[in-house]
Amino acid sequence: MKRIIIALSLLFVLPICGCDKEEQIEKNNLASYNGDLQISGINLQNQYGENFRLKGISSHNLYWFGDLINYNTLMELRDNWNINAFRIAMYTEEDGYIKNPNIKYKVVNIINAAIKLDMYVIIDWHILSDNNPNTYIEEAKSFFSEIASLYKDKPNIIYEICNEPNGEDIIWNNDVKPYAETIISTIRAIDDDAIIIVGTPNYCQDFDEVITNLLSDKNTMYALHFYAGTHKDELIEHIRFVLGANIPIFVSEWGTSTANGNDGVFFEESNKWLDFLDAYNISWINWSLSDKNESSAILQNNTGTLGIFDENYLSDSGKYIKNKLKIKS
């Protein structure tokens, strides 16, 4: 009889103290509440016309560090880091998609995990050493057509169609905008309203030609990338001017280090940037979920997934970013 009474008492206790983990997550931070995103002026908004921000973490090169990313690690980042978006950096070169096209299956697996976890997911066509986005434009058309066909009805999907156009000869009017118009048309033939992020010249920092020659798509944002130890007041003031021209900015990559990924964590400069982004309601994604031996990685070198679940294995940057993500804004 005593065992029966104890068992019955547990039935009444469990619903109170053993609540489902989902109930502990702030619902208005999730895709199921916010739905299809849209742009109003410089603001990202949810389906109700409320200003909304995405904050999260980017992968590093999937070919090198893809094993760190699975359903469990994404759930940990959602539940205990408070991210609502994850960026999949699918490199084109550097052992990426062009050489290893089957990497798209890893992309699909991560997308499916993020959708199941009610998060937003950014699919990043990560050009870097290829410089000009037009180098692999046919492959980009094929890839984004395939992804859009799979996920056109999912509000979770955001397309980042060219990571960092770079090189002295690569300019907005002649190279990046024509590429963007082609890829946007490819996506819009299938998915007519998802947010699209377009990289800008000089590693996503040059908006001079963008200001006078915008894309016509109403749900397109323009990428800003910065590394706090390298890019300081001058770039902040440039972006303040760009925002004043009513151009919607999305920080799809930023790091606490210098631009080479190293040289320590710049806490003061990182705080200044985050204060600036807060003031303008700008979404941001931190670089990167990796255990690479560099200071921008959120995990200590060669720790695998341990650091995601145990703060003892986080890098200095990882501890800083986790703390910043957990602040509600």
Residue 200 CA, chain-centre distance (Å), reads 16
Token output for 316: 């200095």
Look up 22 and say whether it is catalytic: no
Q: Where are the beta strands (DSSP E) in the chain?
A: 38-40, 43-45, 55-59, 85-91, 120-126, 157-160, 196-198, 220-227, 249-255, 284-289
Among candidate residues 164, 268, 269, 311, the one labeled active-site is 164
Look up 253 and say whether it is catalytic: yes
* β partners of residue 159: 123, 196
Cis peptide before 257 (omega within 30 of 0): no
Among candidate residues 76, 209, 234, 253, the one labeled active-site is 253
> What SS3 state is found at 289?
strand
Cβ–Cβ under 8 Å, residues 90 and 124: yes
Residue 250 φ/ψ, nearest 5 degrees: -130, 120
Active site residues: 164, 253
